[in-house]
């Protein structure tokens, strides 16, 4: 079975039901683990990678939160299917573009997943809607403890969990929140926020995380330190800084709304974006994301409130290339993709609004 069936539904963490979901798409916690006595994936040969994949997938049987999981060996999937997993944030671009035996384990609601043989043998990922780092951590830790009873992880009494990249040694934890910050972009304050966040030991990255650019004014805020701290300390610091960034974004939106001339320009901009989504005949995925970002901002200004955050999240997901092909059929030519995307968006607006 291929991952194509995933493209028939929205990931549950995109339902905009979580805290602060008007600004925060998701909270993610990732735990990196490696098997003792095995080479890291980058040094392992094909036989060893295959053994690691088999060992880890077998250990998942009956695991909490992931008992109904789909399991895929990416070496057996077509490129289009690998791209679909990346677009749903279930596989990293590095894993999708890698070579040899490597896998993905995905729970039925997609809130819990695991990459096998990426940079590390195991990368557990737990995602929740909105600003909800505590529940995301709980989900990841439950699976981690289950696996640790069945697998021998590479651990040092001095350094903690050992990982392929030294920056992950210790807790092996990386937590992030995906935030929508158009107000700070429009008021030209986003660079200042980037610098301030960096000084506090956090990082601001793009839509797909490390090495990616910002799309639609969405940014990933994540902590950096993993050595000499525990998981609760990491999440507490990230949560406090995320809360401060959210307040700065709300303040920026209030200033935009209060200044009559500026508000009129923004209202014109968001209505133009709405018009593009409703009537355009050619749309790139980047254009959809930019227009959806503007319409999302409109809700905070008290206009276009009939367009829900959950609906806009759906647009962001299903207008990506692999999802579009899975949804409308893979028969159209590459040069027709923008036409098919625009048609799909118009039909979605007609059906849901």
Q: Which pTM does this prediction carry? A: 0.92
Longest dimension (CA), the chain: 66
Token digits for 40? 């890291």
pLDDT of residue 137: 96
Closest of 276, 299, 298 to residue 287, by C-alpha: 276
Token digits for 207? 């839509």
328, with CB counted inside 10 A (0-12, 13-18, 19+), is: middle
pLDDT of residue 9: 87
pLDDT of residue 330: 67
d(CA 270, CA 272): 5
208, with CB counted inside 10 A (0-12, 13-18, 19+), is: middle
pLDDT of residue 118: 97
Do residues 182 and 294 make contact, with C-beta atoms less than 8 angstroms apart?
A: yes
pLDDT of residue 210: 55
Which CATH number describes the domain made up of 3-252?
3.30.590.10
Tens place of pLDDT for every residue, the chain, 353 residues? 678 888 888 899 999 999 999 999 999 999 999 999 999 999 999 999 999 999 999 999 899 888 779 999 999 999 999 999 999 999 999 999 999 999 999 999 999 999 999 999 999 999 999 999 999 999 999 999 999 999 999 999 999 999 999 989 999 999 999 999 999 999 999 998 888 888 888 888 866 555 555 678 999 999 877 777 788 888 999 999 999 999 999 999 999 888 888 889 999 999 999 999 999 999 999 999 999 999 999 988 889 999 999 999 999 999 999 999 988 776 788 789 999 999 999 999 998 87
d(CA 56, CA 150): 9
With a CB cutoff of 8 Å and minimum separation 6, the contacts of 194 are: 204
pLDDT of residue 5: 85
pLDDT of residue 340: 94
Give how far Cα 188 sits from Cα of 2, 181, 194, 246, Å.
44, 11, 11, 16
Token digits for 65? 């939160």
Closest of 166, 176, 107 to residue 142, by C-alpha: 107
CATH 3.30.590.10 positions along the chain are 3-252
């Amino acid at each position: 079975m291929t991952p194509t069936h995933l493209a028939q539904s929205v990931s549950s963490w995109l339902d905009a039901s979580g805290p602060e979901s008007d600004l925060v798409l998701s909270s993610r916690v990732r735990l990196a683990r490696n098997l003792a006595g095995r080479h890291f994936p980058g040094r392992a040969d094909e036989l060893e990678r295959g053994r690691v994949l088999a060992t880890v997938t077998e250990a998942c049987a009956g695991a909490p939160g992931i008992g109904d999981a789909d399991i895929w060996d990416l070496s057996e999937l077509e490129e289009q299917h690998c791209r679909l997993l990346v677009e749903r944030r279930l596989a990293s671009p590095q894993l999708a573009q890698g070579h040899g035996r490597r896998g993905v384990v995905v729970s039925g609601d997609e809130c819990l997943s695991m990459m096998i043989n990426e940079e590390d043998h195991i990368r557990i990922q737990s995602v929740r809607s909105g600003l909800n780092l505590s529940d995301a951590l709980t989900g990841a830790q439950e699976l981690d403890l289950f696996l640790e009873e069945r697998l021998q992880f590479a651990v040092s009494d001095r350094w903690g969990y050992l990982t392929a990249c030294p920056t992950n040694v210790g807790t092996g934890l990386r937590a992030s929140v995906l935030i929508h910050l158009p107000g700070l972009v429009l008021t030209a304050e986003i660079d200042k926020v980037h610098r301030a966040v960096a000084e506090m030991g956090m990082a601001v990255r793009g839509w797909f995380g490390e090495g990616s650019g910002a799309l639609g004014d969405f940014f990933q805020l994540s902590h950096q330190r993993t050595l000499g701290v525990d998981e609760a300390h990491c999440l507490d610091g990230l949560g406090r800084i995320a809360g401060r960034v959210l307040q700065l974004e709300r303040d920026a939106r209030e200033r935009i709304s209060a200044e009559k001339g500026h508000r009129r320009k923004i209202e014109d901009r968001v209505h133009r974006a709405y018009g593009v989504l409703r009537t355009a005949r050619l749309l790139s995925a980047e254009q959809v994301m930019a227009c959806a970002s503007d319409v999302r901002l409109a809700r905070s200004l008290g206009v276009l409130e009939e367009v829900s955050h959950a609906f806009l999240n759906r647009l962001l997901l299903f207008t990506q290339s692999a999802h579009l092909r899975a949804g409308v059929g893979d028969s159209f030519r590459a040069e027709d993709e923008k036409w098919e995307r625009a048609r799909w968006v118009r039909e979605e607006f007609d059906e849901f609004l």
